[in-house]
Amino acid sequence: MKFMKTMQNLLSDYTAELTSINEKLGRNSSEKNRAADHTSEVQQAIENLISSLPTIIIGLSRDNNIVLWNATAEQVLGAEADDVMGMHLSQCGLEWDWDKIADGILQSRYNNKPMRVDDVGFRGPEGDERFLGLTVNPLNGDGNSILGLTIIGADITDRKKMESQLQQSHKMEAIGQLAAGIAHEINTPVQFVGDNTRFFQEAFDDLNQVIKKLQAALAAARSNTLTDALFEETEQLIEEIDLEYLEEEIPLAIQHSLKGVERIAKIVQAMKIFAHPGMVAKEHVDINKEIEKTITITRNEWKYVADLETDFDESLPLVPCFRAEFNQVILNMIVNAAHAITEKNDENKSEKGTIHIRTAHEGDRAKICISDTGHGIPEDIRHKIFDLFFTTKEPGKGTGQGLAISHSVIVKKHHGTLTLESQEGKGTTFHIGLPLEVQTEEDD
């Protein structure tokens, strides 16, 4: 009996212990379930948040397979998440500039840092041509290994259109300011072409009279009726119109007229190219020729105040750039140089300054240097010179936009450099550096 009682007590104690353990396990299980439910809720909240963001978010695995495709990506790119999940990004069926994206991914993986990829062309859901601005970000694991990538971006088509319109507006404003000078530049060759044309008209009338007299003399000679009087009349007419003078002057007048027509054509062609809205993408251009065209357009701004010298590197390769915006920058620089010289020589208008433009091939960049012999820029304001609306000119003579736009075009759009050197009383030199290769650049 004592043994049985002891066994009952042990069994009772064991049962109680098991009950306690089960109660604890039940509580732990309940806590685990609650934790799992909470985790699921948090994960769902994160997914809802990502889906609601007005930004394209694409997640990639280590092998560039799609693991995340949010609602904005569906809307902008016209592809449902269910249709692309698990696919390689290059095979997701989108019409876009995969080479640019692939290069951005490669650069991001290789450098292990975010890379900016702008102006990625793609076909929108409506079939129209549009553009993306993307940033590729590496996701690092242990030991700095890359687990995958995220691609974050937006449709920048409307922004690009607005920037283009603002650029075009500023360009047309610049043309408007130069219009009087351009009209004068065209009017000068038109005037001497007109003068030469009137000279041709008078010379033709005189030569026509001589031709008729000679025809009459030839007819008389054939019929043996040529008289001394007709012969003398012909000689006298030739002397009166000064045939030798016409023989010398007509070829020169023709040559000058052709030069005048070529001059007009050159100005009109330069204006046509300058006023063109420009390409959405970069194109490879001969920057020496582009600078020459801009010199032609601005000639009336500088020819009375400065001698313009050029030193072009003829071996310079074609440079990838936005042609219209580049021309705008050069125009701003030349006009500013002319104004700086004008202000310096205001008291002695007969004294001319010098504007010097040099191009060179330096490493992986094309270098453009524009120097003037103006009054220079005071050291205490040089750090403001590229600020929007900052100007040293009198009210009504400067908007403070030219150098700010130039800096934006060269540094932000071309990923180039724009710096200056200046010495008060002696002049200023602006240095422009443009990459010779189109590269995926990190967004500063």
Answer yes or no: is 288 within a domain: no
Interatomic CA distance for residues 225 and 60, integer angstroms? 105
**In a shared domain, residues 117 and 79:** yes
Answer yes or no: is 1 within a domain: yes
Position 288 scores a pLDDT of 95
Answer yes or no: is 336 within a domain: no
**In a shared domain, residues 137 and 167:** no
- Residue 401's Cα: distance from chain center in Å? 16
Bridge pairing between strands 306-311 and 353-362: parallel
**In a shared domain, residues 32 and 68:** no
Which CATH number fits the domain that encloses residue 85? Answer: 3.30.450.20
Query: Which of 122, 137, 155 is a domain's end point?
Result: 155
Question: Going by C-beta distance under 8 Å and a sequence separation of 6 or more, which residues neighbour residue 420?
Answer: 377, 382, 385, 428, 429, 430, 431
Q: Which residues pair with 333 in a beta bridge?
A: none
Position 409 scores a pLDDT of 85
Q: How does pLDDT run along the chain (444 residues), one tens digit per residue?
A: 443 344 344 445 545 555 665 665 555 555 555 545 545 554 555 555 555 567 888 889 888 899 888 888 888 898 998 898 999 998 888 888 888 898 889 888 888 889 888 888 888 888 888 999 899 988 876 555 566 888 998 888 888 777 766 666 666 666 666 666 677 677 778 887 888 888 888 888 888 888 888 888 888 888 888 788 887 888 888 888 888 888 888 888 888 888 888 878 777 776 666 666 555 568 899 999 999 988 988 888 888 899 999 999 999 999 998 888 898 889 889 988 998 898 887 767 678 899 999 999 998 999 999 999 998 888 777 777 776 554 555 544 444 456 777 888 898 888 899 998 988 888 999 999 999 886 544 433
Tokens of 442: 């990190």
Position 11 scores a pLDDT of 42
Position 33 scores a pLDDT of 55
**In a shared domain, residues 61 and 112:** yes
Position 396 scores a pLDDT of 42
Domain count, the chain: 3
Q: Which residues pair with 152 in a beta bridge?
A: 57, 135
**In a shared domain, residues 20 and 100:** no
Query: Which of 262, 277, 292 is a domain's end point?
Result: 277
Position 10 scores a pLDDT of 42
Answer yes or no: is 361 within a domain: no
**In a shared domain, residues 78 and 91:** yes
| Domain extent at residue 230 | 160-277
Residues in the chain: 444
**In a shared domain, residues 147 and 164:** no
**In a shared domain, residues 81 and 135:** yes
First to last CA, the chain: 89
Dihedral sign of CA atoms 341, 345, 349, 350 in order: negative
Answer yes or no: is 13 within a domain: yes
**In a shared domain, residues 211 and 149:** no
**In a shared domain, residues 59 and 151:** yes
DSSP letter at 375?
Answer: -
Position 438 scores a pLDDT of 66
Interatomic CA distance for residues 415 and 118, integer angstroms? 11
**In a shared domain, residues 136 and 180:** no
Query: Which of 120, 155, 190 is a domain's end point?
Result: 155
Interatomic CA distance for residues 332 and 408, integer angstroms? 13
**In a shared domain, residues 137 and 170:** no
Question: Going by C-beta distance under 8 Å and a sequence separation of 6 or more, which residues neighbour residue 70?
Answer: 50, 51, 53, 55, 56, 57, 58, 81
